[in-house]
Amino acid sequence: MERQEAEQRVQTLREQLEEYGYHYYVLDQPLVSDAEYDQLLKELVALETDYPELISDDSPSVRVGGEPLPFFEKVEHKTPMLSLGNAFNEQDLRDFDRRVRERVGEELTYSCELKIDGLAVSLTYENGKFIRGATRGDGSVGEDITNNLKTIQAIPLRLKEKVNLEVRGEAYMPKKSFESLNAAKEEGGEEKFANPRNAAAGSLRQLDPKIASKRNLSIFIYAVGNAEGQDLASHHEGLSFLDHLGFKVNKESQHCFSIEEVIAYTEKWTTRRADLSYDIDGIVIKVDSIPQQRELGFTAKSPRWATAFKFPAEEVVTTLRDIELSVGRTGVVTPTAILDPVVVAGTTVKRASLHNEDLIREKDVKLGDTVIIKKAGDIIPEVVNVLTENRDGSEREFSMPTHCPECESELVRLEGEVALRCINPECPAQIREGLIHFVSRQAMNIDGLGEKVIAQLFDHKLIHTVADLYQLEREELLKLERMGEKSVDNLLQAIEKSKENSLEKLIFGLGIRFVGAKAAKTLAIHFDTMDQLIEASEEELIAVNEIGEKMAASVVRFFEADKVRALIERLKSNNVNTTYKGPKPVTNADEVDSIFANKTVVLTGKLHELTRDEAKEKIELLGGKVTGSVSKKTDLVIAGDDAGSKKKKAEELGVEIWDEKALIKELN
């Protein structure tokens, strides 16, 4: 075949395969047999092999999987992928409805959709072409899994319009695919996956895309993240737009005009969820109007305009055989029930939380008891109650120990606490758990240092403090089990990279009691360097917004210890950054030569060139204060497209109003 003829045939084959794939994987309406589709794909691959210059990264042939990757690159989400608040019953839904109406008024509708139990992903398209796909990660930073996502037939590699947009979806494994996969694993003597969600997540995190291509995953796209040049007025309009572009959108979504309709929808799918060909773990309820979504805004963790209704937890009966004790990084001794294995909400459960001694006494738990367990929020197994009527006299009382199960130090119960605690700072369990916390995602985020690797390093006495991580030698690591040259090099590279983290990551990683990730950033922004934080008094700490007396006292106590100060010096000597690197709001606006200095600014409506967070950050850097509501104290309102009640109130109060163009001009 001549090259020109081959080029024409390749183009024809691609168009045919795209059309057949769309009808089969998105519409569930096959146009040709599997054998005919496979034959056409085989012909395309053969032609692309003969004429490599005709290969393109949006060809249907890429779905068979490319070359293995050494590791996944990090991807920063332009718009954060936030988690949702939860509603567990009808009253929670009515409370959500009340809160929303208090902020935006009575004229509103909701969009309800099934909450697919899979892996949340972000897909980015340029000129209608799929260029990148990423996991949710921590909401701000995910992993680039583009090659694996290309193997999902329901993801269009080219859209029906040449648009620039980013969409969010849930990749999942259909029940049939899951059953086939586990049957193959069982036949091969491999460990089976616990549920379709774990199977989907595991498939998409394979470094070899060919493995992902064999897993028969699918996806539902549920939201538009960013879309250039599109002015979408509502969520359901956005779903129609996605459907028009060729995305697979769940057809069970419903536009609801009252909270009563929302409740009816949740009741319907609570009873019908088993009938679906895929797993769901709840219902997502969103305020439908996008201008109202903007007006409602976000909390630190989730949007105020959406919530996730969680199905009532499945309760299962099993036998409690033993109670195991574990020691956490703060010294708290936690009892865990050891159970006869039982399937709960799709996974095999062998352990369940008992929380503390008081709960064991309150529920009258004995070894050998028949117990009811459930998964709190469909995630964490816990003992609900004991079936005392099933006792036959063979059950045994359980008593909490007086000494630490790890180091034999005497346990104490601090005033006002229900937990027993080991207060020995050299307790191996606390040190080990502290190391695991230090390398975790929200802390220093060191890839390759999971719990098993940390335990291995600790048991071989290669690490005792977090500073030891920065003095690990390649030769020492190569002597350990399952540590080949490639994994050792990747690990050392990740450790080296973590030295560049901003100060708040280090503060959180140190595990100071009562100091979470948000407080760590607040402290880093205020004190700028570790040295200044170490020398801060309780009074200086309390003066920082959002830092209370309890937290301030804990920070001072932590840094008073000579051992902690010596640890900080070791980290510095290993070139670990101890300075805040992020943007910093202006503390003295009088020193700033800016129109925003000492001004109270409100952002409303849709911005195109900046996100709300970017605009807020820039205004605060120039001495302004950004608030969420318009009042007599407001100096300026920035009104984007579809600005609603806030703009109207600003007009009534005579507050100065700018459009985004004026804002950009001033910022520049």
The DSSP-derived string for 54-92 is: G--TTSGGGGG--PPPSSPPEEE-SS-----EEE-SHHH
The DSSP-derived string for 422-486 is: E--TT-HHHHHHHHHHHTSTTTT--TT--HHHHHHHHHTTS-SSGGGGGG--HHHHHTSTT--HH
Show contacts of 269-278: CB within 8 Å, 24+ apart. 269/114, 270/311, 270/312, 273/311, 276/114, 277/174, 277/175, 277/176, 278/116, 278/117, 278/118, 278/172, 278/173, 278/174, 278/175, 278/196, 278/218
The CA angle 93-648-640, to the nearest 5 degrees, is 85
- Give me the helix-helix angle, 259-272 and 90-104, nearest 10°: 150
Instruction: Quote the CA–CA distance of 84 and 222 in Å, as a whole number.
Output: 14
In sign, the C-alpha dihedral spanning 93, 96, 102, 108 is: negative
> Which among 133, 117, 127 is positioned nearest to 284, based on CA atoms?
117
Instruction: Quote the CA–CA distance of 85 and 303 in Å, as a whole number.
Output: 8
Residue type, 53: E
384: tokens are 């609900």
632 exposed, middle or buried (CB, 10 Å; 0-12, 13-18, 19+)?
exposed
Q: How far apart are the first and last CA of the chain?
A: 58
> Which of 42, 74, 78, 115 is labelled catalytic?
115
Instruction: Quote the CA–CA distance of 609 and 603 in Å, as a whole number.
Output: 14
5 exposed, middle or buried (CB, 10 Å; 0-12, 13-18, 19+)?
exposed
Indicate if 115 belongs to the active site: yes
Instruction: Quote the CA–CA distance of 308 and 117 in Å, as a whole number.
Output: 12
Residue type, 88: F
> Which among 608, 599, 612, 625 is positioned nearest to 660, based on CA atoms?
608
Residues marked active site are found at: 115
